[in-house]
Amino acid sequence: MAPPKVKKPVCFVVSPIGETGSPERIHADWLLEGIIKPVFAAHYPNYEIIRADKMPAPGLIDVQIIEHLLDAELVIADITTLNPNVFYEIGVRHVVNKAIIHMSRVGDPIPFDIKLFRHITFSVATPQALEAAKVALKESLDATFAEDFKVDNPVTRTRGVVKFEENATPGEQVMQEQIASLNARVALLERADNPLSHFSPHVVEALRRPAVKPARYAGGGTAWTQQFAQDEIAIRVIASLHSTRQLHQDGQKAMETYFESFATVQEGEASVVYAVLYSDQNLKTAGEVAKQLSAMDYRVEISQGRRIE
């Protein structure tokens, strides 16, 4: 009687694939055959490498993909070309809190939502670049398979923040808000498509200061003292039913969705102010931001080059 077959651990490769002979397929094959498989063969030969188009088992391919995303010991995801199917599959993997390695072709943009998390950039343009990609992948695999490795992705971080906020003291909550504000400013400064030199000096200075809570006066309103230049549009988002964290998250996400370049000028407990450069198109786009956030029960005020009272 033959001994039972030992099931190998699986590395599931998520990638834009495309039709046979297409640039997408050629790119995907270079990554799989030229980088991933040689590294595993040399250093982790016990792993089975699977990509969706190469799965031999019969059945619904979508079901098999989800099963691998949920169960595979490792997922390697190539975000090159920003393929929507790839990001859907990355989202599934993030939710189950299991190991995933992000990879991207050199020179391609890294989406803001995952830019802060480790990823491997690679190129197959030269033999030297190919070898460098193999070395980088091997180092990432070693770190991922280490005993002290902990999964870190946007979902796990958000869950951690929520758990912290549920049990945090008032002082710890203030500290968390300040850290979140600092992280937002650092992310803004790192965005290549958002040079601060485009903004007037007072907006740049506002980004360098800690988040400021608005001063309240007897009438119960909020007095804003920030003066905007004539070539800037100020967008203030005001919340009455949302938490401070939710306000800042929703506002930031809306601005990132509609604008390539913007500055977070002032953040408070119930409102946040953004600045964008003035143009007819940006003024129209600000209206779209207001429409989206209004549908989420926020109040939005838009002003060009004057104080918001």
User: Sign of torsion, CA 47 52 57 63?
Assistant: positive
- Of the CATH numbers 3.90.1150.10, 3.40.1190.10, 3.50.50.60, 3.30.70.250, which one belongs to the domain with range 170-304? 3.30.70.250
Q: What digits encode the pLDDT tens for the residues 29-61?
A: 999 999 999 999 999 999 999 998 877 665 556
User: Terminal CA-to-CA distance of the chain, rounded, Å?
Assistant: 84
Distance separating alpha carbons of residues 169 and 179, to the nearest angstrom:
15
**Maximum average pLDDT range among 71-85, 164-178, 291-305:** 71-85
Which stretch of DSSP H or E encloses residue 232?
A: strand 232-238
Give the residue-averaged pLDDT of 76-86: 90
pLDDT band at 70 (very low <50, low <70, confident <90, very high): very high
pLDDT band at 206 (very low <50, low <70, confident <90, very high): very low
Domain boundaries 10-154, CATH class: alpha beta
pLDDT at position 165 is 52
Please state the domain extents for the chain: 10-154, 170-304
- The 10 Å CB-count burial string (b at 16+, else e) for 204-215 is eebbeeebbebe
Task: Say whether pLDDT at 172 is over 80.
Answer: no
pLDDT at position 160 is 53
**Of 272, 276, 203, 212, the residue nearest 237 (C-alpha):** 272
Q: What digits encode the pLDDT tens for the residues 146-165?
A: 988 888 776 766 655 445 45
Distance separating alpha carbons of residues 286 and 283, to the nearest angstrom:
5
Q: What digits encode the pLDDT tens for the residues 96-155?
A: 889 999 999 888 877 766 666 678 889 888 999 999 999 999 999 999 999 888 887 767
Give the residue-averaged pLDDT of 180-203: 47
Task: Say whether pLDDT at 259 is over 90.
Answer: no
